[in-house]
A and B are shown apart, each in its own frame.
Chain A
């Protein structure tokens, strides 16, 4: 995919909505377009978290593998959403498995490349980390709501 089309995809992805075009240009250099077949892994627990994904299309299952019972999906991530924040914090290792449930098209951002840019340019750094923080907060709140077991009567 050409740099121009990559930029267009970035622009239209909700994660980067309203991002200054100048900053977008900085980020696009770390991006590449990837396609995954259903069943393929985007991430494996314990592997180096050397990238994160902006999912464009398809569904990815975030899984924890249990020795007994096999993989358990703890949430799914779909088009317009972001997958992976272990790349932000040492030791930069994936905490969960992520597996394509359907065919998936995603933008992958090289973590090392991006970390360098975030460190070099505080404006970009702030924008990216702020957006991740927002996503993390939303995911946390929805996970907490999952724990409430809303559909079961009160205990």
Chain B
């Protein structure tokens, strides 16, 4: 049923279509971003043509492990997300909030706005679309909004790339965020059929996506091509390690006193890598700097992490003084309190925190252990 509908909507892009797509977006005034290789990893950066995409590369990921290697064919989207997420463009690591200038004994405040070109994301994974939707909820649907984020989001053009191969740390399927893209895109691509029979299927997810797609060299997809793509997506679903989904929330909520937090803290370095690579983490802090002559001050918003000891600092010390307490806070925020705050889970199963943890702490393992069995002794 769903496949039939997809067949009707699906096109197969010609080989030169990706260059045409990038050009079309640039012509519409977008700053086009996509995955590209740098320093042995895949990063998201400006691309001016499809040649920048990591064609022919794939990755091996595991807890605390990431390697790029040559893939078996020239697939464009065989590289799964690396450390960086689209977060660094939509919710930037550093934003100047205002400049403050002394005027006698008083001062004036000048907001800083940097009008920027609208962004187009090429190759956004379904888990990343889910992460963007989650950040939308946090940053634009509460009683207060982040106007910078809202502006960047409003004009965003998204070309999604579904995942026909699961990474070893991926668990999107258990959280319902992939490997298929269901919403949040203007165009969705599915690269299927390997080793010579590779095709790039495309479908529109919005009116402007349809307009862009129509202008690209393509032909209708055959039922067989769609079936191959769907089979690959099914396989990518099956390949993943299963973790408990939202049904585990109540169990986890009762685990504040578990002794496992302390055991995890023995391994954790408190390096905050997990929060830096996480596409949903949104915490920020504000830094104040002042010119040497005291005439001008700048307020800058920066990414922050709940793993820092100062994160919960009030006069006299920090509320979360122990690493175990901070790790517990991060984990239970993702799976217990975030849903209570925002009505969605705080995790999309992208696996970055597993791959990029230098201690190899695997959130899937902890999820399974903490949502099963009886609590181990510990202090709440």
Q: Which residues of A contact B (CB under 8 A)?
A: 41, 67-70
Interface string of B301-338 (1 = CB under 8 A from A): 00000000000001111110100000000000000000
Among B315, B317, B379, max chain A CB count under 10 A is at B379
Please list the residues of chain B having a beta carbon within 8 angstroms of any beta carbon in chain A: 314-319, 321, 379
- 7 contacting pairs across A/B (C-beta < 8 A): A67-B319, A68-B314, A68-B315, A68-B316, A68-B317, A68-B318, A70-B321
A70 neighbours in B (Cβ, 8 Å): 317, 321
- CB neighbours (8 Å) of B316 from chain A are 68-69
**B-side interface mostly:** loop
Residues of A within 8 A of B379 (CB): 41
Q: Give the docked Cα–Cα distance between A69 and B320 (Å).
A: 10
- Chain B: CB-nearest residue to A97: B379
Who on chain B is nearest to A39 by CB? B379
A sample of 9 more A-B contacts (CB under 8 A), given A67-B319, A69-B316, A69-B317, is A41-B379, A68-B314, A68-B315, A68-B316, A68-B317, A68-B318, A68-B319, A70-B317, A70-B321
Smallest CB gap from B321: residue in A: A70
Residues of B within 8 A of A41 (CB): 379
Q: How far is the CA of A70 from the CA of B318 in the complex (A)?
A: 9
The 10 closest A-B pairs by CB, nearest first: A68-B316, A68-B317, A67-B319, A69-B317, A68-B314, A69-B316, A68-B319, A70-B321, A41-B379, A68-B318
A67's nearest neighbour on chain B, judged by CB, is B319
Instruction: Give min CB distance, B174 to chain A, whole Å.
Output: 35
Tell me the minimal C-beta distance from A144 to chain B in angstroms: 26
A22 to B359, CA, bound (A): 63
Give the CA-CA distance A67 to B314 in the complex, in Å: 10
Complexed CA–CA distance, A68 and B315 (Å): 8
CB distance from A70 to the nearest CB of B (A): 6
| Bound: A69/B317 CA distance, A | 6
In the bound assembly, the distance between CA atoms of A67 and B316 in angstroms comes to 10
Contacts of A69 in B (CB 8 A): 316-317
CB distance from B308 to the nearest CB of A (A): 16
A contact residues around B319 at 8 Å (CB): 67-68
Minimum CB–CB distance for A39 against chain B, Å: 9
Task: Output the least CB separation between A41 and chain B (Å).
Answer: 7
Who on chain A is nearest to B379 by CB?
A: A41
- Bound complex: CA of A67 vs CA of B312, how far in Å? 10
Q: Which residues of A contact B321 (CB under 8 A)?
A: 70
